[in-house]
Amino acid sequence: MSTRREFIKQALISGSTFALSGACRFGRDTDRIDAAAIGKLRTSLEGQLILPDDEAYDAARRLFFWNPTTEKSPGIIARCERPDDVARCVEFARQHDLVLAVRGGAHSFLGWSTCDDGLVIDVSPMKEIAVDPGNRTVRAGSGVVAYELVEATSPHDLVPVLGECPTVGISGLTLGGGLGWLSGKYGATCDNLLSAELMTADGQSIVANATENPDLFWAIRGGGGNFGIATSLAYRLHPLSAVFAGVLTYRLSDARAMLSFYRDFMAEAPDELQAVASLQRDGDPLLNLVVCFSGDLNDGEKIIRPLRTHANPVRDTVQPRAYSDSFTEGAGGSWTFSHIKACYLESLSEDAIDVMLDRFAHAPDPGAAIGLDHYMHGAVCRVAFDATAFELRSPGALHVRILALWNDPYVTAAIVEWSEETWNALQSHSAGRIYANYPSTEGQAAAKAAYGGNYSRLLAIKNKYDPSNIFRRNQNIMPSSA
């Protein structure tokens, strides 16, 4: 892959401030480790160990959001096949004092599932799925991604509550909260978690559920990867096969009116409806509304009619379809580079809409988009703020997503700068709270903004389960002793 060369070339030509990561430095932390010790780790694993000189290395270190800030060079990538592999790797990282990154579906915005120099524990090969249709539950290995779980449960006309992206890992999604098409009806992904198996910082496999280690169970429903490495997760399933769903596309000239209308319409919408708005380009600039109604199909047309009539969509694909249709593999397109920033708005003001439209008009590249995800309403907002660690549950709130996708490395500086400036422009419209799964900043202030009123309880649990902060490549809760 030539991306590193391209980044370096770009950085040199543009004089940009992007840091050049590990591979360009002399010496790695892992260089000081005896080759015999690495060999011993390799033979103790059922999974594959990938080192920088291996042919598989460049592909293995790549994340979904691939840009100068997430492009890193781990010293060791361990593709774990079973919980025991994970335990061996945690022990190895402790023993050699290595930075440790944990990877499920590799969709971290800030590149937390990789690191320079250290050890990446990649659980993505752990793909076992066991559906129990009678009890409406499923248990999945922590390397499963959303579409794989939906594919496994859909033949039973049962579905899990996941996010909206088919390729997001269930682990990262669940541990951070998890918001998607069905959250108005059934809550967040973490509200549907029944039990999890985790590898702790001292290499012990433990169960967290309502009766076993309930403090940990509370913490992993929103507190992210701070407490251990999930090796399997069990969820409640819900009966569903078909939905009334698709895309309504509007001209950009209708976007202002439609965005205001969307906000007011969603405030009255039934729990079964979710809609995502996105300013993007498909040749021409436009507004897409992706809708999904999971209630009685006979009501679907009536429910979404106001969206069809308030302005005239130039494209309308909304119709009855299998729920699993929205979870087909391969989402994400063929872009080489991507970057994302997000912010949480307690409500969508007219001024915030103006900022979004103005910033979209100044986007430097066809791959730039600004979207509104996860209108917060229904069941997810009826769970108490402190019932789980995931506390962002205010009705009427939304998540703004500033997305940049590009192929030409020479656009990098301009498009990332546009993204940063757009995020800055929206800050005065946000109360500053952060969804742990949509991080744009890190550090202790960010962690406090993410965990809010639940922070001190999470800190006590972090002190108990990971006092030396082995698990720190996340929205990190710094233990008191660190």
Ligand X SMILES: Cc1cc2nc3c(=O)[nH]c(=O)nc-3n(C[C@H](O)[C@H](O)[C@H](O)COP(=O)(O)OP(=O)(O)OC[C@H]3O[C@@H](n4cnc5c(N)ncnc54)[C@H](O)[C@@H]3O)c2cc1C
Q: Looking at beta carbons only, is 21 or 108 nearer to ligand X?
A: 108
According to CB under 6 A, which residues from 249 to 308 bind ligand X?
none
Residue 66 binding ligand X, by CB under 6 A: no
Contact string 26-65 vs ligand X (x = CB under 6 A): --------------------------------------x-
Backbone angles phi, psi at 427, to 5 degrees: -60, -35
Residue 440 binding ligand X, by CB under 6 A: no
**Cβ proximity of 262 and 229 under 8 Å:** no
Strand duo 273-282 + 284-293: pairing: antiparallel
Closest distance to ligand X from the beta carbon of 403 (Å)? 8
Residue 230 binding ligand X, by CB under 6 A: yes
Residues in the chain: 482
Residue 313 binding ligand X, by CB under 6 A: no
Residue 180 binding ligand X, by CB under 6 A: yes
Closest distance to ligand X from the beta carbon of 173 (Å)? 4
Give the bridge partners for 196, in sequence order: 208, 233
Residue 173 binding ligand X, by CB under 6 A: yes
Residue 474 binding ligand X, by CB under 6 A: yes
Four-residue CA torsion sign, 63, 113, 147, 130: positive
CA-to-CA distance for 360 and 372, rounded, in angstroms?
13
Residue 165 binding ligand X, by CB under 6 A: yes
Residue 441: both structure tokens together: 């900043």
Residue 229 binding ligand X, by CB under 6 A: yes
Q: Looking at beta carbons only, is 222 or 285 nearer to ligand X?
A: 222
Find the Cα–Cα–Cα–Cα dihedral 196, 139, 107, 73, rounded to 10°: 70
Burial 201-218 (b: 16+ CB within 10 A, else e): bebebeebeeeebeebbb
Part in contact with ligand X (CB under 6 A); list of ranges 35-43, 131-139, 171-179, 444-452: 171-179
- Among 142, 249, 288, 419, indicate the residue that binds ligand X (CB under 6 A): 142
Residue 123 binding ligand X, by CB under 6 A: yes
Find the Cα–Cα–Cα–Cα dihedral 206, 209, 215, 221, rounded to 10°: 110
Residue 171 binding ligand X, by CB under 6 A: yes
For residue 119, which of 60, 202, 67 has the smallest C-alpha distance? 60
Q: Which residue is nearest to ligand X (CB)?
A: 172
For residue 143, which of 163, 133, 128 has the smallest C-alpha distance? 128
Q: Looking at beta carbons only, is 230 or 404 nearer to ligand X?
A: 230
Part in contact with ligand X (CB under 6 A); list of ranges 98-106, 127-135, 260-268, 348-356: 98-106
Part in contact with ligand X (CB under 6 A); list of ranges 47-55, 92-100, 103-111, 128-136: 103-111
**Cβ proximity of 41 and 21 under 8 Å:** no
Closest distance to ligand X from the beta carbon of 101 (Å)? 6
- Among 164, 191, 271, 272, indicate the residue that binds ligand X (CB under 6 A): 164
Residue 72 binding ligand X, by CB under 6 A: no
According to CB under 6 A, which residues from 4 to 33 bind ligand X?
none
Counting residues that bind ligand X (by CB under 6 A) gives 34
**Cβ proximity of 448 and 372 under 8 Å:** no
Strand duo 119-122 + 100-103: pairing: parallel
Q: Looking at beta carbons only, is 11 or 226 nearer to ligand X?
A: 226
Closest distance to ligand X from the beta carbon of 203 (Å)? 14
Amino acid letter, residue 47 = G
Alpha helices in 313-411 (DSSP H): 350-361, 379-382
Q: Looking at beta carbons only, is 154 or 326 nearer to ligand X?
A: 326
Residue 304: both structure tokens together: 């979404």
Residue 176 binding ligand X, by CB under 6 A: yes
Amino acid letter, residue 185 = K
CA-to-CA distance for 277 and 280, rounded, in angstroms?
10
**Cβ proximity of 386 and 186 under 8 Å:** no
Closest distance to ligand X from the beta carbon of 208 (Å)? 12
Q: Looking at beta carbons only, is 292 or 311 nearer to ligand X?
A: 292
According to CB under 6 A, which residues from 207 to 226 bind ligand X?
224-225
- Among 78, 90, 98, 175, indicate the residue that binds ligand X (CB under 6 A): 175
**Cβ proximity of 347 and 376 under 8 Å:** no
Four-residue CA torsion sign, 180, 184, 188, 193: negative
Using CB under 6 A, list all residues that contact ligand X: 64, 102-109, 112-113, 123, 142, 163-165, 168-169, 171-173, 175-180, 224-225, 229-230, 437, 473-474
